[in-house]
Amino acid sequence: MSPYKKNDLPYIHRYITTHNTEGEAVFLSHAQIPDYLPSKPAGEDGEIALLYATTSMPASVDDEADVAMYDEFLHQPPGITTDEGTIFRMIDLRPGKITPMHRTVSVDYGVILEGEVDLILDSGAKRHMHRGDGKELGEEVYEDDYYKVRNSSDTTIVERKFEGFQIYRDDSSRIADLTTACQTAMKQRIKCHEMPEAWQQPEMRGSLDSKNLTDAVCDTGCGRSLQSYYDGVVSACQGQNFTVNSAVTFPARAGGTIWTGYNETCLKDPDTDVYCNNMIDTFTIVDSYEEMPRDQLCSWCYVNLNRMMQSSPYSIFQSTLESPYLKARLEYIYSTCEVETGPTDVGDTCDSVALTYSVASAALQSANTGYITNCTTLAAGNELCIPLTCHELYILEDTDTCESIELDTGIGLGNLRAYNPWINYFCDNLVSTVWIHGRTLCLSPQGGIYNVSTPSLESTVANGTTLYCGIWYAVAAADETCAKICASTGITSEVFREVNPSLAGNATEDCTGLLQAVVAFSRLLDAIESRLPLKSTHILLGSSDGIELPYPNWVIESLARKDSFAQEFLSALPIRYINFHYIDPGIRIQNITEFIAQPFENLGGSYGDRDVTPPLLLFRGGGENTTPWSLRWLLDGRKEIPAGLYLEAVHTFISDDPGNDSRLLLPFEVGRNGYARSSNGLLLNDCGTDRMYDKFYQDHQPTGILPWGSHSSYIHKVLVNWAERVESGDWEVNGDGVANGIEKLKDADTPDHWMKYQTS
């Protein structure tokens, strides 16, 4: 049986009403039954949610007896029907799945909320049902009919409305010379109405003369599908071109042109919700845009449709016979109308950012298509992805050509396109696309120039190790491990073993988890440091206020088992001086004295066994922040344990236990408000089948997709989650690191924030 995959449908909310003591209608309290309703797996066929159920007709509502019965059904689901009552369900049937032919002693009503299904009777009769269609099955004589339901779609609900189309078919010979990954991306099906398939050439997009047709073409699922297609092709096909109709083009052009046509066709006036092209169709007919009535020329639709065409490299605005006319028209709009363009300050253009980080401006735009549609002006406040750097940069002039740049700089003919793959074969888009790609070019490979180095004369190269290395590593101690070398150098274990075939040991050894944890921790520290107020940088090296990492070897070796994940992680931490303390609300990096005072050190019972390593407190809560729960795996009966992030206990006799599991213990319960949830969408109180340990379960922060009560979270996923909270601004930073105290983590049990505390 294949693993079950949770659907991506919107969360279900249903609202239950009751009465207060005055007899007035009120909504049921969240504490009784939350409005949010999780669905549950129905085998591999889909998911099912019980919206409500009763056991009698009419329902018994005295003292909310019906609510109590429904709550019981949520924990112990009823059968398909109840003997005397009613059942209201919502079902998600996966693409291509079909329910068994079945019959119930009931009258069933069904309404299709989204998608399309086939209703099939045992006689062979069939109806194809669409959104909004309903069915009623059941007769008084025959009790009910045999029937089954099939989802005839081959895709998910967000793209279910259209079969879609492929720009490049599976047997397309034009793209046969491209890489497999690029071909796969280009052959993806675009889930849209059939009309946009013809929009592969830049044209002036006008009204479709039908609101229903425009609504179908402008379906939001189509927009998501086009963006997904375009981003996928850009990512998979970097640096590749192919020939079509005796001309050279690039893989993303057709998809980008269709997406541009979609955006121009689907633009709506924000005040009237009318499609802009339909509104412009009603404008006064004139011989020239200079004769247009000012209110029409300067209308939101007309201004922004022209700006949208100018902002896309795939529109008719760029490099066509109409370009001069369209540019002159836009300049006239800017000169005549009061158009907000925003100031262009230092740091808010592609080129200024590119020069700051030593990257190509086109690479910056390509890596941030969601934020950058025009390199001449960038919106403030966006966090941009910085692409690979290049050693040498060049600022493009209007008179430059590919050949002139290559000759003047001496990089060699043909290399400018190799270093800047967005430049087409004829190099005729070099200057014309400055507005979208900027002027900053790479004159060297992105990622740096590869330099082969030689090992030192005193060292011995291992048997079979390649001599074509950029960096050599000398093993200085007999106890060094592959994982430790991987984590300290940043190389993956697969590459490390491939270039060093003589390495002994388990060929499947992998340092991925260790490397991820070290990188995630460095990312978290960088995120906090970059947001510290200036005064917090005045802590002097070696003062008692700061913390030096990593801890001394004698500290690590005294607390962590040799060759364990804990020892390797602590040893591989970046060498740096930390001038703050808190890396999570109320959770701090420990100084040496605190770190040595481990709560589970020298425990009796099973933790005295050499086969079991006790939990290790990595990052500690404040002095007053201790957890009050008596943990079932703590054998000495201790009642108060420091809050903080722990590495889990490791049973050394379990050979495949990597030791990188963690738990965050908190000094309060999480889940009482009815929002905190586990991976399968259940409330925290419903996570475990053993109800005796509810409080034990509730003592853990929801940092993982896996159920809190029965699974730990990988340490690197917790640290990445913390870094994301800082980077996104969810957690504030003050002079001592992350602010607001441990109470901030109660956000995990609120309607607006609970999902932020779950990792992927």
Structure tokens at 252: 């993303």
Q: What is the pLDDT of residue 589?
A: 92
- Side chain identity at residue 552, one-letter code: P
Query: Residue 360 sits in which domain range?
Result: 350-442
**Is 538 within the bounds of a domain?**
yes
- pLDDT tens digits, 182-192: 888 888 889 89
Structure tokens at 11: 């969360």
Last residue of a domain, one of 336, 370, 393: 336
Higher pLDDT, 442 or 515: 442
Percent of the chain whose pLDDT exceeds 70: 70
Rounded mean pLDDT of 540-568? 71
Question: Quick check: helix, strand or coil at residue 561?
Answer: coil
Structure tokens at 366: 């390509």
Structure tokens at 650: 């490791």
Alpha helices in 130-219 (DSSP H): 180-186, 211-217
The most confident of the ranges 154-163, 168-177, 316-325 is: 168-177
The residue to which tokens 């507005």 are assigned: 435
Angle at the Cα of 759 (from 758 to 760), degrees rounded to 5? 130
**Is 437 within the bounds of a domain?**
yes
DSSP tally for the chain: helices H, then strands E: 22, 30
Angle at the Cα of 321 (from 315 to 324), degrees rounded to 5? 85
Q: Are residues 678 and 704 in the same domain?
A: yes
565 vs 573: CA distance, rounded Å: 12
The residue to which tokens 């109800």 are assigned: 691
Q: Are residues 375 and 323 in the same domain?
A: no
Q: What is the DSSP string of 705-759?
A: SS-TTT--EEHHHHHHHHHHHHHHTSS-EETTEE-S-GGGGGGGGSTTTGGGG--
Q: Are residues 122 and 249 in the same domain?
A: no
Q: Are residues 21 and 139 in the same domain?
A: yes
Q: 658 phi and psi, to 5 degrees?
A: -70, -20
Higher pLDDT, 354 or 143: 354
Decide if pLDDT at 141 tops 50: no
491 vs 493: CA distance, rounded Å: 7
Q: Are the C-beta atoms of 595 and 559 separated by less than 8 Å?
A: yes
Number of domains in the chain: 5
Rounded mean pLDDT of 49-63? 83
Decide if pLDDT at 140 tops 50: no
162 vs 372: CA distance, rounded Å: 29
Q: Are residues 131 and 79 in the same domain?
A: yes
With a CB cutoff of 8 Å and minimum separation 6, the contacts of 374 are: 310, 311, 435, 436
Tally the residues of the chain. 760
Q: Are residues 295 and 378 in the same domain?
A: no
Q: What is the pLDDT of residue 537?
A: 36
Of residues 585, 576, 587, 600, the one with CA closest to residue 648: 600
265-269, 367-371, 412-416: which range is least confident on average?
367-371
Q: Are residues 486 and 565 in the same domain?
A: no
210-219, 403-412, 572-581, 625-634: which range is least confident on average?
625-634
Of residues 639, 645, 642, 637, the one with CA closest to residue 626: 642
With a CB cutoff of 8 Å and minimum separation 6, the contacts of 172 are: 187
**Is 735 within the bounds of a domain?**
yes
Question: Quick check: helix, strand or coil at residue 642?
Answer: strand
DSSP 682: -
Question: What's the whole-number average pLDDT of the chain?
Answer: 74
Decide if pLDDT at 46 tops 90: no
Alpha helices in 114-252 (DSSP H): 180-186, 211-217, 220-236
Compute the radius of gyration of the chain from its Cα atoms.
32
Rounded mean pLDDT of 20-47? 73
In which band, very low, low, confident or very high, does the pLDDT at 159 lie, cut at 50, 70 and 90? very low
131-135, 494-498, 714-718: which range is least confident on average?
131-135
Note the pTM of the prediction, 2 decimals. 0.39
Rounded mean pLDDT of 5-28? 72
**Is 164 within the bounds of a domain?**
no
581 vs 588: CA distance, rounded Å: 5
36-45, 165-174, 702-711: which range is least confident on average?
702-711
Structure tokens at 691: 């109800």
Q: Are residues 142 and 214 in the same domain?
A: no
- Side chain identity at residue 377, one-letter code: T
Beta bridge partners of 619: 589, 645
Alpha helices in 530-619 (DSSP H): 553-559, 565-572, 592-596
Q: 88 phi and psi, to 5 degrees?
A: -120, 115
Q: Are residues 591 and 488 in the same domain?
A: no
Decide if pLDDT at 415 tops 90: no
**Is 165 within the bounds of a domain?**
no
730 vs 584: CA distance, rounded Å: 11
Helix (H) or strand (E) holding 135: strand 134-137
Q: What is the pLDDT of residue 285?
A: 92
Q: Are residues 323 and 266 in the same domain?
A: yes
**Is 457 within the bounds of a domain?**
no
130 vs 111: CA distance, rounded Å: 9
With a CB cutoff of 8 Å and minimum separation 6, the contacts of 212 are: none
The residue to which tokens 């390509």 are assigned: 366
Q: 72 phi and psi, to 5 degrees?
A: -65, -40
**Is 167 within the bounds of a domain?**
no
Residue 52 belongs to domain with CATH number? 2.60.120.10
Decide if pLDDT at 633 tops 90: no
**Is 174 within the bounds of a domain?**
no
DSSP 606: G
Q: Are residues 561 and 578 in the same domain?
A: yes
Q: Are residues 229 and 325 in the same domain?
A: yes
Rounded mean pLDDT of 294-299? 93
Angle at the Cα of 620 (from 618 to 624), degrees rounded to 5? 160
